[in-house]
Amino acid sequence: MYRLSINFLYSKKNTLGNFGNEKSFLSFAPDMELKTRIKQKAQDLFRRYGIKSVTMDEIAAQVGMSKKTIYHCFSDKNELVDEVVDDMLAENKNFCISSRKQAANAIDEVFLGMESLQEMLGNMNPSILYDIERGHPQTFKKFLEYKYNFLSDLMRKNIVQGKEEGLYREEVNAEFVSKVRLEMIMLAFNEEIFPKSKYPLVYIQHELMEYFLYAIVTPKGYKMISKYLKSKSDQNALEK
């Protein structure tokens, strides 16, 4: 009878699958939390100082753990950078999708997207893209796919919508102009043209965005931009 009870308990434990095993998914949960902490701190450091200048030792010190622990979660810096960039692209994609859903029109979408970008770019070092391109080619390949697929399509749709709404000029070539806008965004990260000591990244992006919109809008669109900028200026004045 005793032997039967033991066998029954053993069989019952096995029916629980991995959750009945000490090496189940649950046993790895702390590692996932640890990886998230490391990635969040690494992203913060990469944004502020660029990727190349931040070492694994510095990340470990900032998180408050040994470098050995970090290498338990990530095989090397390449893997860490890759996962951090994945998170950043996902965050940007969510911002873009949210702006498109909330926007009342094409111009509103651009300004909502700019507001989201200001949060992301506020403390970002422009060298981050250059560091990825030179030091992490596989990660940079992911970025290019995101740029030329998701972002390019998003901008093309915005221009088509703006033309339909009478906010952008009818003769604007959506395919061509969306590529121009995309490269204008990338231009802001070029420190040879816009040194970070002189031009904050948020300022560059905002100025380029305005120049772009004014180049393609109709009189109706021009009035909408002017109204939005005045509203924003009044709001900033009240906050001061």
pLDDT digits (tens, 9 = 90+) for 79-137: 999 999 999 999 989 989 999 999 999 999 999 988 877 777 767 888 999 999 999 99
Helix (H, G, I), strand (E, B) or coil at 217: strand
Tell me the average pLDDT across 177-206.
Answer: 91
Helix (H) or strand (E) holding 101: helix 77-102
**Which residues does 129 contact at the CB level (< 8 Å), separation at least 6?**
143, 186, 189
The domain made up of 77-239 has a fold known as: Tetracycline Repressor; domain 2 (1.10.357)
CA–CA gap between residue 108 and residue 86 (Å, rounded): 27
CA–CA gap between residue 64 and residue 21 (Å, rounded): 31
| Predicted pLDDT at 18 | 43
CA–CA gap between residue 112 and residue 125 (Å, rounded): 22
Q: What phi and psi, each to the nearest 5 degrees, are found at residue 217?
A: -80, 160
pLDDT(22) > 50: no
pLDDT(24) > 80: no
- Count the neighbouring beta carbons within 10 Å of the beta carbon of residue 215: 13
pLDDT(25) > 50: no
Rg, Å, the chain Cα set: 24
| Predicted pLDDT at 170 | 97
| Predicted pLDDT at 239 | 67
pLDDT band per the 50, 70, 90 thresholds, residue 3: very low
- Count the neighbouring beta carbons within 10 Å of the beta carbon of residue 132: 23
Instruction: Kindly state the tokens that stand for 156.
Output: 């093309």
| Predicted pLDDT at 8 | 40
Percent of the chain with pLDDT over 70: 84
